[in-house]
Amino acid sequence: AQTVTQSQPEMSVQEAETVTLSCTYDTSESDYYLFWYKQPPSRQMILVIRQEAYKQQNATENRFSVNFQKAAKSFSLKISDSQLGDAAMYFCAYRSARVNTNAGKSTFGDGTTLTVKP
Amino acid sequence: ETGVTQTPRHLVMGMTNKKSLKCEQHLGHNAMYWYKQSAKKPLELMFVYNFKEQTENNSVPSRFSPECPNSSHLFLHLHTLQPEDSALYLCASSQDARGSYEQYFGPGTRLTVT
């Protein structure tokens, strides 16, 4: 079974600065997908960024980028130029690429609550 | 309406009540999910439906009964719940159940069992 670990329950960052949220996972599979989701207070969870395990290039989406280290099973999220609207709980998630036995299964980490200080 | 909607947003029920949670997606997706989010545990996958067929039941107690009449609607029928079932219940959808597709989440139903 896959596991996802987010070792930082809470993080804080000064507005306009950079913060990195950590995520490690454990799997015996070679093909999978990794996601970061953002859940603002009392608002819907939305996708921040995704990474295909077969791609060596790290995914980027505007101010959000990942550092994907497949051998180390690490998938950290870097938020540059932090804004007040980035304050939320961030979840790291793993999804298997298998079509049959693990189809639809997602494994989420416990989440990291990010506070942005003005 | 757009995206994934859930009703009701808040629900308080006694342990002997029967209630249902409703989820509707307006994205043309073929997979739908129920998750439980509580303070003490990470997001727990409960059920997966892919093209209206249940493909995953993550050892969920029988007091939770899902129903997926079509690809756009998903229900969670609740009966004789326990106080520990109090949580935020999230519905999600994706293009289909393959892992490459991101999930789109609803706002959740905050359930309190008294």
Q: Do residue A105 and residue B45 have CB atoms under 8 angstroms apart?
A: yes
For B95-112, what is the mean pLDDT?
A: 93
Q: Give tens-digit pLDDT for B40-69.
A: 777 899 999 999 988 888 889 999 999 999
Residues 13-72 of B with CB under 8 A from A: 31, 33, 42-43, 45, 48, 50, 55-56
CA B36 to CA B45: how far, in whole Å? 7
Q: Do residue B99 and residue A35 have CB atoms under 8 angstroms apart?
A: no
pLDDT at residue A104 tops 80? no
Residue where the block lists tokens 């959000």: A64
| Nearest chain A alpha carbon to B107 | A44
CA B92 to CA B104: how far, in whole Å? 5
